[in-house]
Amino acid sequence: MTTREKLEAGFTILAILALWPVILGWENPVYQVVLGVILVVFIGLVAQKFRRIRSIYNASKVEAKKRRPPSGASGDPFG
């Protein structure tokens, strides 16, 4: 795991823990601002994660196209 992935995982845990005051019904105006900031950062992290997964998927498609077909007849699935 890279340092960036560790930070993302840590922030995800922090975002989940930040929901507990809402669940318990605690209200504070400062807390509402903190929740807003966490929401914006969390949306950014999710978007970045989707971009990273998409790039890995596209790289795997390119890798699959570069592979040589197995030896044997092209119509024979068992080579």
Contact predicate 38/15, CB 8 Å: yes
What integer pLDDT is reported at residue 51 of this predicted model? 92
pLDDT at 71 (0 to 100): 61
What single string gives the DSSP state of each residue in 4-58?
HHHHHHHHHHHHHHTTHHHHHT---HHHHHHHHHHHHHHHHHHHHHHHHHHHHHH
pLDDT at res. 54: 93
Indicate the domain borders of the chain: 3-66
Give residue 72's pLDDT. Answer: 55
- pLDDT for residue 69: 64
- pLDDT score of 23: 84
For residue range 1-52, what is the model confidence (pLDDT) as tens digits? 788 888 888 888 988 888 888 888 888 888 888 888 888 988 998 898 899 8
Cβ atoms of 11 and 43 within 8 Å: the answer is no
